[in-house]
Amino acid sequence: MPQARGASPPGPGTLPPGRALVTGAAGGLGRALVAEFRHRGWHVLATDLQATAGVDAALDVTNPHATQRLAQEFRPTVWVNNAGVLAAGDAATQPMAEVERAVQVNFLGVVYGTRAAVEVMRPAGGGVVLTVASLAAFTPAPGEAVYAATKHAVRAFILATAAEQRGTGMRFHLLCPDGMATPMLEDRVDDPTAAASFSGRRLLDPTRVATLGVDLVERRRTHTVRSVPRSRGALIRTFGGSSRVFLTVSPLFLRRGRAAQQRLRARSGG
């Protein structure tokens, strides 16, 4: 397959370009992943709920039959579980429709996509599943309880699936970024329940996160869990590893997040 203009040839020990399917590709990190794969010479099928500009095919990741059918038609060598929704709100009063949607997209969408990918790739000798989770996969997130729970579930599912598929040629990578400067989060700058996602030093550049994600795919490792940034990931794992520490420190993180939201509103004139 020819290299995209400006792309570097794969280095020794790296996976050569093949066929990548990306879910949730209409904007944000999904769009950045599509651009990075194509830059490196991959043939990419960009999917989202609707086939809008920049999207090659419509795919509702909560529909297991549609997901399976598209995997069999496209025959990817890499499947990227990227589609997700934030669903911030008080867990006790959050509308049930939002709760169900978060579980369906964030967790079941990953289950269905991974199963469809394994079904196609394993008989062909193997392939790669890259799943975008979040640093919320390692710690509870007040105001984002349901969201964090879905990301915890995703981490457990991918790790267990990786263990089950050892020796089959399947490889699984989990990308866990902090809050990113994407519409999904920028639209929540006025929402105090989403403060946890703004508590990092700054919102991440999705282009940089996409580069790290494609790096994971191209390196011939069996399994990787990659926090972005690493230092914040180490802090979050410590923070979420003890209920006493979490309950003591979480108000500080929320105040920091709300202060960041206020600064962003001031910059935008809001």
Per-residue pLDDT of the chain (270 residues; tens, 9 = 90+): 333 334 444 444 578 899 999 999 999 999 999 999 999 999 999 999 998 889 999 999 999 999 999 999 999 999 999 999 998 999 999 999 999 999 999 999 999 999 999 999 999 999 999 999 999 999 989 999 999 999 999 999 999 999 999 999 999 999 999 999 998 888 899 999 999 988 888 999 999 999 999 999 998 788 899 999 988 888 888 878 888 888 888 888 899 999 998 998 888 775
pLDDT at 201: 86
pLDDT at 143: 93
pLDDT at 166: 95
Domain 19-268 has CATH 1.20.140.10: no
Where along the chain do its domains lie? 19-268
Tokens 């550049």 belong to residue: 205
pLDDT at 247: 85
β-pairing, 19-22 with 57-58? unpaired
pLDDT at 6: 41
CA atoms of 136 and 195, how far apart (whole Å): 13
Inter-residue contact 144 to 87 (CB < 8 Å): yes
**Torsion of the alpha carbons at 32, 70, 19 and 2, rounded to the nearest 10:** -90
Instruction: Catalogue the active-site residues.
Output: 147
Q: Residue 125, Cβ neighbours under 10 Å: how many?
A: 10
Q: Compute the 3-state secondary structure of the chain and give helix, strand, coil in percent, each to the nearest 5.
A: 50, 15, 35
Q: What pTM, to 2 d.p., does this model score? A: 0.90
**In this structure, what token pair is assigned to residue 9?**
């040839």
Tokens 């370009």 belong to residue: 17
